[in-house]
Structure formats: C-alpha cells, structure tokens
Amino acid sequence: MRIGFGGMLAVLVCLAGAPSRAADQPGFTVDGQVRQTLHPNAADVQKLPVIELEVAFEAQGKMQKAKFKGALLLDILNKAEIVDAEGKGSAFRHAIEVASSDGYAINLAIGEFHPFLEGKQVLVAYERDGQALESMGGLRVVVPGDKHGARSIRDLVRITVK
Ligand SMILES: Nc1nc2c(c(=O)[nH]1)N[C@H]1C(S)=C(S)[C@@H](COP(=O)(O)O)O[C@H]1N2
Ligand SMILES: [Mo]
C-alpha cells in the first residue's frame, strides 16, 4: 500500500509536532516519605528556577572543574512535600537517598541543603559546560563543596526520602 501525499503530510506533521517529552527524556522518581510521589523528567526540571554553579572536585586522582546548570533539589522536594511521619514537626529527621541506574547511590542529610541549616545549593543538573547532560549519562546531582566527586551522581533515577 502506498501512502498518499495527505498521509505523508500527516506523518510529517505528527513527527514535527511531537513534543519532546516522556519516553525520550531522562527522568527520575521522587518517593518515600513524601505526600506525592513524582516522576519528573528533564523538561519538568527545566521549568524550575535556573541555578548555575561552578564546582571543582577530584575524580580518579584528577581535579575536574565544571559549570552545571539545573534546579535546586530543594525545589523538587518541596513539590513532593516531605512528610513528618512521627508528627514531631521536624523535616530534619529525614535523609535523602539518591540512586543511579547503575546501582550506585549516595546519601544526603536534609540539613545540608535546607536554607535553615547549611543551605548548600544541591542541584539536579541537566547541563554541564553548556552541553545537555542527556548525552553524558543523564541528569546529575551536584553537591557543591564536596572535595571528591563521589556524590556527583550521574544518571539519576530515584530520590527517596527515608
Ligand atoms: N551513576 C554513577 N555516578 C557516579 C559514580 C558512579 O559509579 N555511578 N561515581 C562517582 C565518583 S566516585 C566520581 S569521582 C565521579 C566522577 O565524575 P565524572 O563522571 O565527571 O568523571 O562520579 C560519581 N558519580
Ligand atoms: Mo571517585
């Protein structure tokens, strides 16, 4: 069967008009002690206030310098709303586990990035040195101030509030 001109046009319009989202975008889950489990992708993260951060960290014995662009982890967690299961009114009891697709995971205390306490600008980054991270191992969590790159976790897939 041949596709007529109209059919071809429909296919082209369909391809051109397909919004770049969901399946072809790196995304992750926010779950655990939250009111709302979220499944944001890179486009959702890009809608949040943009933060740019220059960091230096050691990796495999070498210093790396990089400029990351992303959103605050705090802004994402505020959308999910951390619960206080024990009802004592303190979000600071919780810890955040950040996991990657390769099974690598790290931990953060809320106090490290909460503005009442250390207030570090922990990012969920989608760009490194002007290049989309999509082509470099997906979304990346960046923890400013860390001397080693161990918590600069690539290909973020899950943020769990414990
Ligand atoms: N997903 C994932 N992220 C990871 C790691 C890993 O094994 N898996 N290793 C970490 C370590 S130990 C370092 S030093 C840095 C290295 O950063 P680079 O990928 O920019 O070289 O990545 C971190 N992020
Ligand atoms: Mo490392």
**Ligand 1 within 6 A of CB of 136:** no
Alpha-helical regions (H) of the chain: 5-17, 42-46, 73-80, 110-113
Find out whether 33 and 94 touch, Cβ atoms under 8 Å. Answer: yes
> What's the CA gap between 34 and 36, in Å, rounded?
5
Query: What are 136-151's pLDDT values in tens digits?
Result: 889 999 999 999 999 9
Residue 82 lies in a domain: yes
Would 1 be classed as within a structural domain? no
**Radius of gyration over every alpha carbon of the chain, rounded to an integer in angstroms:** 19
What CATH number does the domain containing 96 carry? Answer: 3.90.420.10
| Domain-located, residue 3 | no
Strand partners, 107: 97
By most ligand atoms within 8 Å of CB, the mutation choice from 65, 104, 158 for ligand 1 is 104
pLDDT of residue 89: 67
Domain limits for position 41 = 8-161
Q: Tell me the pLDDT tens digit for each residue of 42-90.
A: 999 999 999 999 999 999 999 999 999 999 999 999 999 999 867 676 8
